[in-house]
């Protein structure tokens, strides 16, 4: 029997362990998991959190509680029985956040505060002190819609964003200042109509698009529209132009007509126009 020297045995084990490390690293890379250097990790079962740039772990409860609260009703509305584990990554450094965004999805959106990486089933967030839990919920809805149809991302964009906005928000944020949105509404409508897959107007009008869909055809229509990438022919024979006109009328009737509230009157009042009725 051939005998090996101690030095040869040590060399063999070092090479073997090095090879094992490389194999494990390759497997993690294939699974979309990056090693965590100078970061904080918290595994909470369905959701795993990774924080960078010294982001305080104190932000985790607000995100986690929001996702847990909405998870079951959202999954039910999309007809989902189960979903894979989701990793939520949070940065405070904008450059690091954008560098990772460009590396993972090939684009760099300078004003974004959240996006998803479908390949690794991750939510990526930039924390700057705002309501980060709302951004997380918006991105969570995006991931859920991809469980319904893996080819739904931005296809079409107006519906992709409208559903995420409607399902992650409780009301249309313009409702308390109708005067301001009324002045801009027609222009936003035209921009969305002519550029449905590139207009930023969807971020301002998306909630009302989702609301119009649900009121017209019921909540189940979201799943059908996601699966068909926005084809409404299964619900109606109306051409898209007619549906667009109906939605516009719906918004005007629901939100932009009727008497002004006291809040709206107060917002419109000139602060320098003081009428002292006592004199």
pLDDT tens track, the chain, 279 positions: 445 455 554 554 444 445 443 444 444 444 445 567 789 999 999 999 999 999 999 999 999 999 999 999 999 999 999 999 999 999 999 999 999 999 999 999 999 999 999 999 999 999 998 899 999 999 999 999 999 999 999 999 999 999 999 999 999 999 888 888 999 999 999 999 999 999 999 999 999 999 999 999 999 999 999 999 999 999 999 999 999 999 999 999 999 986 666 665 666 665 555 444 444
Q: Give CA–CA dist 113/122, Å, rounded.
A: 14
Judge residue 279's burial from the number of C-beta atoms within 10 Å of its C-beta, 0-12 exposed, 13-18 middle, 19 or more buried: exposed
Q: Other C-beta atoms within 10 Å of 150: how many?
A: 9
Q: What is the pTM of this model?
A: 0.82
- Enter the DSSP assignment of 191: H
Q: Residue 51: name the closest of 110, 139, 127, 150 by CA.
A: 127
Instruction: Return the CA Rg of the chain.
Output: 25
**Using N-to-C axis directions, what is the helix angle for 157-168 and 60-77, rounded to 10°?**
110
Tell me the C-alpha distance between 212 and 195, whole Å. Answer: 19
CA separation, residue 230 to residues 76, 110, 154, 235, 240 (Å)? 20, 28, 11, 11, 11
Token couple for 256: 């932009």
Question: In angstroms, how far is the first alpha carbon of the chain from the final one?
Answer: 116
């Amino acid at each position: 029997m051939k005998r090996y020297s101690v030095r040869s045995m040590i060399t063999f084990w070092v090479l073997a362990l090095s090879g094992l490390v490389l194999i494990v690293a390759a497997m993690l890379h294939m699974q979309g998991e990056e090693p965590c250097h100078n970061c904080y990790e918290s595994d909470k079962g369905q959701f795993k959190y990774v924080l960078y740039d010294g982001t305080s772990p104190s932000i985790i409860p607000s995100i986690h509680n929001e996702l847990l609260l909405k998870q079951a009703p959202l999954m039910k509305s999309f007809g989902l029985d189960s979903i894979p584990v989701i990793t939520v990554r949070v940065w405070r450094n904008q450059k690091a956040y954008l560098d990772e965004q460009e590396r993972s999805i090939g684009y760099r959106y300078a004003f974004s505060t959240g996006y998803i990486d479908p390949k690794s089933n991750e939510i990526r967030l930039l924390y700057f002190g705002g309501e980060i839990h709302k951004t997380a919920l918006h991105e969570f809805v995006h991931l859920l819609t991809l469980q319904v149809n893996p080819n739904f991302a931005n296809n079409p964009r107006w519906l992709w964003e409208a559903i995420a906005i409607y399902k992650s928000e409780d009301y249309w944020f313009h409702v308390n200042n109708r005067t301001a949105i009324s002045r801009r509404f027609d222009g936003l409508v035209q921009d969305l109509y002519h550029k449905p897959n590139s207009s930023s107007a969807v971020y301002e009008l998306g909630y009302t698009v989702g609301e119009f869909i649900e009121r017209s055809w019921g909540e189940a229509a979201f799943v059908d529209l996601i699966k068909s990438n926005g084809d409404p022919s299964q619900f109606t024979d109306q051409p898209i132009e007619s549906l667009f006109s109906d939605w516009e009328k719906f918004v005007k009737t629901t939100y932009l007509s009727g008497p002004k509230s006291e809040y709206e009157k107060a917002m419109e009042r000139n602060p320098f126009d003081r009428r002292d009725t006592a004199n």
